[in-house]
Amino acid sequence: MPGADLGLPRPTDIVVTGLGAVTPFGWGVEPLWDGVRCGVSAVGPFTRFDASRHRTHLAAEVPVEDGGARSAHHLSLADRFAVASAREAVAGAALDLDRCRERTGVFFGSSAGGMLEGEWFFEAHIHRGARHARRGLVASQQFNGPGDAVARAVSACGQVETISSACASAAMAIGNALRALRRGDVDVALAGGSDALCQLTYAGFNALRSVDEAPSRPFRKDRLGLSLGEGAGVLVLESAAHARRRGAKPIAFLAGEASTCDAHHMTAPQSDGSGASDAIRLALLDAGVAPGDVNFVNAHGTGTPLNDASEAAALTAVFGERVRTIPVTSTKALIGHLLGSAGAVEAVVTVLGLLHGEVHPMPDNGVRDPEIGLDLVLGAPRALPVAACAISTSLAFGGANAVLVFTRRATA
């Protein structure tokens, strides 16, 4: 992987040493980066289930795994996404888990877990009878299934936990991993999230009229809603001291995190973005980073009228007039909204942006919303300075806000 010198990390710094992903662009980090930097949406017709009875008919679906060699019949699709991502991240970090498995934790986020397989079981039970409903389909139905599957796959014997807090789940899980590493609870953390498309979430968001009939257009004047997607992302996190002892080269720093709650409404955000702006300020404070040091924002950017307006208000409250010159992008414009795993894949993309020195673009479609007032990266990548700093925001239903701060150099 390319990248400039990160400077001399302090032993207590938390560094990213490996990345893994499964997304609508393919199985692996390389197809993800190639896809997002092209700025062409992966949202389109899909086959995961019959969408003909639903209000909309588009989503971003993960392609069939080449050969399916790593698939297992007892794992849900979300489990398989998670395990493949974790294995890629571990391999990229050159991590020998035999030396540290007792001190390796798994921190995961998910909204639906194996809900898709639960739907298959229920449909078979109703239409074909109990004898034809394979009970193994519900073995990983619970939302902690993907994280547990990762722990089993790599024999991680440290703490294993799953957060399910809507669209902020994976970002909060990564935040928990950061805190666990700082406390010394674990030496290594596999942090991320995984979710698969399923009819329950697809129907639910359609019932809320939150899904656009066309691919989503975050922060555009004609935006009408989100697009749903699926996939997983995993980061290998460890203290700089641990990475140095085993000769690992850091990719980036996870410098800070924070989370807040609007405590306002089941689905609608605070219109002034106050809960989100508090989370951004707290995350920057945790990272020891000033607002003026932030070089780009990977925004939550769902494409819904309320969410985008609220997030723009939050960014303006934190960055003031400078918000008009900070590059802002949204990975969801390309791969859809991955629900509980969105924050993980977006964290992976944010780190890749720092690593490659550029911000990925959104599709250049739709008229910019003049009331939003953000510097949107559209059509082509935008170059970054060598020692860049970025934030990734996750602003979920229920007013759950989570923010992660990544840097290319150690912060003061």
* Chain segment 205-260, per-residue pLDDT in tens: 999 999 999 999 999 999 999 999 999 999 999 999 999 999 999 999 999 999 99
pTM: 0.94
Which pair of tokens denotes residue 21? 């992903």
How far is the C-alpha of 197 from the C-alpha of 77, rounded, in Å?
9
| Catalytic residue flag (residue 157) | no
399 CB neighbour count, 10 Å cutoff: 22
Per-residue pLDDT of the chain (412 residues; tens, 9 = 90+): 444 456 667 778 999 999 999 999 999 999 999 999 999 999 999 999 999 999 999 999 999 986 444 456 678 899 999 999 999 999 999 999 999 989 999 999 999 887 777 666 656 556 666 665 566 666 666 879 999 999 999 999 999 999 999 899 999 999 999 999 999 999 999 999 999 999 999 999 999 999 999 999 999 999 999 999 999 999 999 999 999 999 999 999 999 999 999 888 877 788 899 999 999 999 999 999 999 999 999 999 999 999 999 999 999 999 999 999 999 999 999 999 999 999 999 999 999 999 999 999 999 988 999 999 999 999 999 999 988 999 999 998 788 999 999 999 767 5
Q: Name the catalytic one among 242, 300, 360, 389.
A: 300
> b/e per residue, 259-290, with b = 16+ CB within 10 A?
bbebeeeebebbeebbbbbbbbbbbbebbebe
Is 125 part of the annotated catalytic residue set? no
Indicate which residue of 100, 198, 242, 337 is catalytic. Answer: 337
Annotated catalytic residue 261: no
Alpha carbons 361 and 215: distance in angstroms, whole number: 15
**Active-site residue among 167, 198, 242, 389?**
167
What tens digit of pLDDT does each residue of 386-405 get? Answer: 889 999 999 987 889 999 99
User: In a 3-state reduction of DSSP, which class is residue 70?
Assistant: coil
